[in-house]
Amino acid sequence: MAEQVLRTLMRTTDIVVAGLFSPAAVAAVGLADIYGRLPLWLGLGIGDGAIALSSQDTGSGDEANRNEAVTQALVLGLIAAVPFVVFGLVGSYWALEILGAERETVRLGGLYLAVIMISAPAFHVTMIAARAIQGTGDTRTPMYVNAGANALNIVLTVCLALGVGPFPDLSIVGIAVATAFSDLLAAATFLAVIHSPRSELAFVRPRRFVIAKQLIVISAPRVSEGITELVAEFPFNAILLAFGTEVNAAYHIGRRVYQQVSSPLARGYGVAANIISGQSLGQGKPDDAFFDGLAAAALAVVTVGGLGAVLFVGAEWIVLAFTRDPETIDYAVDFARAYAVSTVLIACYVVLAGSLRGGSESRPPFVAKVTGALFFFLGITYVFGVHFGYGVVAAYVAIVADFAWRNVVVGGVYLRRNWLERGASMMRERGSASGDE
């Protein structure tokens, strides 16, 4: 959770600093972040494969399979980052233009996006290595590494964007450069940690195709979730831009408020549930894995829900940290409150999805996101917001309805328990099940 707080604080700083320039700058960072979340989801997807296999093989004591899974996951992450580098070099401005953004937003966002995409390989290494280490039960080392990198990122963001002291005034580009440099430093540190003799993990020469296949099978639905989110964000942001640049900026501010205040706890519980469920399955204890996921979900609902209540009440004061534009503030408060209402739903969904992934079952969260994005997130916003003329109010409702539906899908799969057998079956396939030679 501490790691997630620092990571989201870094992203929040980006929005706050952008808000010092103009609503167009906030919209530029927010719109560029839509594309920036694609390498994020791909890194998370491969990282989910790494953490699932790492936790299961830690539970079963199969160090050889664990080391090969970690090595192959990092190689896959580097290969998968190459298209993003190319995209950053040739397509960043076009990517903003097709969303219908204003000229200044395209100029600022295109520069920001190009730098972020070029640093995708380092970002993937950071995401995957951190999750591989977490799978062994060591969640402190990733926190220490990312804490240092993110703290540096925050300082560099302020210095490079605003030209503090001897640093050049790079505006929005400075925010991106700070992020890229910090990701590069974190990636190098994680590789050094895994290579060191003090680490439980080690790099090996990849030899077993079955492990690569399982990494892809587990990762593909998670990556597809990211593609779904990206596809959904295009028309959603286009609709909000049609309502006004201030409305679009307000959405990104309201979303960032939620991500900073309550999202880190939900993600932390989700990672913990993934690790514990995977290790319990590795030890041959499916009943423990099932119970642990439910217990983590209950704890998440209580604690994250409490923060959601604080967020709802204090939305007006929190939003003022991002912008002073009166019209943007009004909309941002409402978006923040929509996410505040959703916090309980988001917490439960993230934890149950994490437990399923600990059992190598990553398909239900993908189905939940696809159907939720199509019929609720986009469907309600367009039908009621545009067709029936309710405007931005429909977007507030759509956010809550989307996460409510995701819980229905993922909760139903979780309670049927089939995911426990899927995890055990994949362990047997690669020879990691308890008692296998």
Are the C-beta atoms of residues 273 and 297 closer than 8 Å to each other? Answer: yes
Per-residue model confidence (pLDDT) at position 226 = 77
Per-residue model confidence (pLDDT) at position 194 = 95
From residue 429, give the alpha-carbon distance in Å to each of 40, 319, 351, 426: 29, 51, 26, 5
Q: Is residue 436 part of a domain?
A: no
Q: Is the pLDDT of residue 215 over 80?
A: yes
Reported as type and span, the H/E element at residue 284 is none
Q: Is the pLDDT of residue 436 over 50?
A: no
From residue 257, give the alpha-carbon distance in Å to each of 24, 81, 141, 319, 332: 18, 29, 27, 7, 9
Per-residue model confidence (pLDDT) at position 384 = 94
Per-residue model confidence (pLDDT) at position 415 = 96
Q: Is residue 435 part of a domain?
A: no
Q: Is the pLDDT of residue 33 over 50?
A: yes
74: left (phi over 0), alpha (psi -120 to 50) or beta: alpha
Q: Is residue 195 part of a domain?
A: yes
Work out the pLDDT band at 434, boundaries 50, 70, 90: low
The boundaries of the domain holding residue 149 are 2-430
- How far apart are the C-alpha atoms of 126 and 130, rounded to whole Å? 6
Q: Is residue 214 part of a domain?
A: yes
Per-residue model confidence (pLDDT) at position 177 = 93
Reported as a single tens digit per residue, the pLDDT across 94-137 is: 888 887 777 778 888 888 899 999 999 999 999 999 999 999 99
The number of domains in the chain is: 1
The length of the chain, given as a count of residues: 437
Q: Is residue 120 part of a domain?
A: yes
**Mean pLDDT value across the chain:** 89
Q: Is the pLDDT of residue 82 over 50?
A: yes
From residue 224, give the alpha-carbon distance in Å to each of 40, 95, 220: 12, 20, 6
Work out the pLDDT band at 3, boundaries 50, 70, 90: confident
Can you tell me the mean pLDDT for 369-384? 94
Can you tell me the mean pLDDT for 243-251? 88
Q: Is residue 437 part of a domain?
A: no
Can you tell me the mean pLDDT for 23-46? 83
Are the C-beta atoms of residues 78 and 86 closer than 8 Å to each other? Answer: no
Q: What is the reported pTM? A: 0.80
Of the candidate ranges 36-45, 97-106, 178-187, 338-347, the one whose mean pLDDT is the lowest: 97-106
Can you tell me the mean pLDDT for 233-250? 86
Reported as a single tens digit per residue, the pLDDT across 88-105 is: 999 888 888 887 777 778
Q: Is the pLDDT of residue 187 over 70?
A: yes
Higher per-residue pLDDT: 171 or 213: 213
- How far apart are the C-alpha atoms of 267 and 127, rounded to whole Å? 14
Q: Is the pLDDT of residue 437 over 60?
A: no
- How far apart are the C-alpha atoms of 257 and 333, rounded to whole Å? 9
431 phi and psi angles, rounded to 5 deg: 75, 30
Can you tell me the mean pLDDT for 277-290? 93
Q: Is residue 133 part of a domain?
A: yes
